[in-house]
Amino acid sequence: MPLFDPTPDNIALAASRLQNGELVAFPTETVYGFGANALDSQAVEQIYITKGRPSYNPLIVHVASLEEARKLASRWPENAQKLAETFWPGPLTLVVPKAPEIPGIISAGLETVALRVPAHPVALELLRATGLPLAAPSANKSGEVSPSRAQHVTQSLGEDIWVLDGGSCEVGIESTVVDVSGNDVAVLRPGTLSRRQIEKVVGPLVEANDSPEAEGAPRRSPGTLEKHYAPRARVHLYSTIIDAAFHAPLLASGQKIGVLPSEPTTLGRQFDTIERVMPSDPATYARELYGALRDLDEAGVALILVEDVPGHSAWEGVRDRLKRAAKS
């Protein structure tokens, strides 16, 4: 099935499909989402089936406005209001107590729901056209690199998926997820919106503990599986060029190697490499990361060596994605 430009007619057609219980992939400012009517359990189930997503991994529900979000919460905490007024529309997801009409499949059986107002014109037009909240995880097979371009969706999920093509995603990695369901506020999944920015609005954060007590226990947030956002190639994070040169022959076994450094390296003199120097600022790095990993996969590399990123707060979302991609 071809990719569809987000014309008024195609957005209306996509909205009709969603209203009829079908699935549509659409762009957001973070990554492409795989959308279904969040109030239709059967439609939502098809997301899990198509992605191969474990049932204990909850979904984010996208809405067109703060007012629509409040309708999906049984209680709207003061901290939710403060953060929503400051950062919505934008790459922030709020975990709040869920309203009774939210199906349990959305929240992995928990009594909370993750809500977001995206900051992408196509996503907002689609939400308004459907008149529905849309459950929309990333539009890829579970555990793979998320799609930041429409072509990535069909590469992962196949040509039968209906995709609105809104171009490249501006942010490039998934939203920051913040739990405001109780008295304390905690970041469950880091993103490009930093802890420091959040603390300026709600005060000090507590450390999240999202480690399930048992295998298969529900997660409070998506994107917290140990291995996630992973290309087909093995990923190794290196701190120095000596470390990279040491691990290259051990992990690649003579096959082609991808390298994502902060500045050009000399690894190509010793190994068969494809090198792409990554940006020095966290926002641009995040925007380019998933495309770079997918491009190296398409080039057939067996190993991707990625230079460690800086340790300060602005890089936390990128650092989290790299750590999970590199998990063996």
> What structural domains does the chain harbor?
3-202 (3.90.870.10), 234-325 (3.40.50.11030)
pLDDT of the residue at 90: 98
- pLDDT tens for residues 135-146? 999 999 999 999
Tell me which of 179 and 241 has the higher pLDDT.
179
pLDDT category of residue 212 using cuts at 50, 70 and 90: low
User: What is the model's pTM?
Assistant: 0.95
Query: What is the overall mean pLDDT for the chain?
Result: 95
Residue where the block lists tokens 């809500």: 115
Mean pLDDT across the stretch 35-39?
98
Mean pLDDT across the stretch 173-180?
98
- pLDDT tens for residues 236-270? 999 998 999 998 888 888 899 999 999 999 999 99
pLDDT of the residue at 240: 92
- pLDDT tens for residues 64-122? 999 999 999 999 999 999 999 999 999 999 999 999 999 999 999 999 999 999 999 99
CB 183 within 8 A of CB 55: no
